[in-house]
Amino acid sequence: MSTQAAGVVVPGQEKRKKKLVRRAAPDGSQRIRRVVQWVFVALNVWIGAQFYLWVRWFERGGQGWAVNRPAGVDGWLPIAGLMNLKYLLTTGRVPAMHPAAMFLLIAFLAMSVVLKKSFCGWLCPVGTASETLWKMGRRVFGRNFRVPRWLDRELRGLKYLLLGFFVFVIAWMPAAALKDFMAGPYGTIADVKMLNLFRTMGVVGIAVMTGLVVLSVLIQNFWCRYLCPYGALMGLASLLSPVKIRRDTQACIDCGKCSKACPSSLKVDELVQIRSVECTACMACVASCPVENALQLALPAAKAPDAAARWRGRAVNPRAVAAVLAVIFLGVVLLARMSGHWQTAVPRAVYMQLVPHANEVSHPM
C-alpha cells in the first residue's frame, strides 16, 4: 500500500501541497512594460527626427522649413547632465546650456530611488534595443550564452570604472570651469557632435558598433551589464529604493522559473529579496512565477499568516510602475518647462556659425 493511500503524510508533502496556489491570471507586466518601452522609443525617434531636421536647416544655410530644436535631445548628453547637476549643487543656479540634460538625469535618478533601476528596464531606448537583440539571439540559437562567472564579475566592474572616471573629472572641475566648458563652442553643439558621430562613422566606429550588436545578440544585455556608466549610476541610486523584488519563502515552491527568467542572471529563487544593483525592476521573474503571491515587486511584507495578507497594499503592480514612471518623467519635464529652464537659449546666429562646422570644433581639453 502506498503511503498516500494509507493516509500517511510524508514529511514535506502536505506542506508542498498547501503551498501550491496557482496564480489565477498572468500579471501582464511584460505586455505593459513593452508598451512603455516602445512609447519611449517612439518619443526618441520623434525627437531624433526633429533634431536632424533642425541640424540640416543650419547646414543648408537656413534654407527651407525651419523647426525648433527639441530640448529632449539633451537626454542623450548624460555627461552634460552630470556637469550641470554639479553646477546646480555647487552654485544653486540652473545652468543655461543643456539644462534639460540635468532635469532628465534628475528624473531618471528619482525613478531609480523609487523603483530600482526601472529607467533601464522600462524606458531606456538602448536597453530596449539590447533586449530586442538578445531575444532575437535566443530565437536564432535557442539560447543566450553565459559569460563564465569569474569573468562576468570582472567585466561588470568596467561600467563603474567608466562612471568613476567621469565623476572624478567632473568633481575635479570648479563650477566656473564647468560653465565655461558648457558655454564654449564644444559644449554648445555637443548634441550636434553626438549626431555627427553616427552620421560620419569611420571604419573603427562601424567595427565597434558591429561588435557590440553581435555581442548583444549572443549575451543578454551585454552593453547594459558591462559597459553603460549611466546604468551604473542608476544602479547605485537604486540601492536607496524601498521597493524590491521580494520572495515569500512560505508560498514559493522552489521551481526556479524566476531565476531562469531573470535577464540580469540574479538568483531570485535563492534570495528573500533582491538588493542587487543589477535589478531593473523588469518584473520578468514575477511574470514567470506560477504561484500566487510567491514573488512580488513590493515594499517589505507585513507579518501575516497567509501570503495574500502579507502582500496586501505592499505589492506594486505593473500598472502602478508605469504610472509612477510617467508621473516622475512628466512632472520633472513640466517643472523645467514652467520654470523656463527647459530650452537652451542660444541665438540662431550662433548656431548658424557653429552647426555647419561642427566637425571642426574640437574638445577644449
Among 22-30, 194-202, 290-298, 326-334, the segment contacting ligand SF4 (CB under 6 A) = 290-298
CB of 277 to ligand SF4, least distance (A): 11
Q: Is 315 in the site for ligand SF4 (CB under 6 A)?
A: no
- Nearest residue (CB) to ligand SF4, 98 versus 225: 225
Residue 128 binds to ligand SF4 (criterion: CB under 6 A): no
User: Does 256 participate in binding ligand SF4 (rule CB under 6 A)?
Assistant: yes
**Residue 31: CB atoms within 10 Å:** 11
Which of 73, 195, 266, 332: binder of ligand SF4 (CB under 6 A)? 266
Beta carbons within 10 angstroms of residue 180's beta carbon: 13
- Asked if 283 is part of the footprint of ligand SF4 (rule: CB under 6 A), the reply reads yes
Closest CA to 82 of 186, 203, 187, 157: 187
86 binds ligand SF4 (CB under 6 A): no
Tell me how far apart the alpha carbons of residues 217 and 223 are, in angstroms, rounded to a whole number. 11
Under the binding rule (CB under 6 A), the answer on residue 268 touching ligand SF4 is yes
Scanning 65-73, 256-264, 324-332, 353-361 for contacts with ligand SF4 by CB under 6 A, the matching segment is: 256-264
Residue closer to ligand SF4 by CB (options 167, 253) is 253
- The cell numbers describing 357, all together, are 562646422
- 47 near ligand SF4 (CB under 6 A): no
* 318 contacts 27 by C-beta, under 8 angstroms: yes
- Residue 278 CB, shortest distance to ligand SF4, in Å, is 7
Q: Number of residues interacting with ligand SF4: please give it, by CB under 6 A.
A: 28
To ligand SF4, the closest distance from the beta carbon of 303 in angstroms equals 19
Q: How far apart are the C-alpha atoms of 354 and 365, rounded to whole Å?
A: 18
Instruction: Tell me which of 114, 262, 277, 358 binds ligand SF4, using CB under 6 A.
Output: 262
- Residue 107 engages ligand SF4 in binding (rule: CB under 6 A): no
- Is residue 245 within the footprint of ligand SF4 (CB under 6 A)? yes
Among 31, 254, 267, 357, binds ligand SF4 (CB under 6 A): 254
Residues that bind ligand SF4 (CB under 6 A): 245, 247, 252-258, 261-262, 264, 266, 268-269, 274, 279-285, 288-289, 291, 294-295
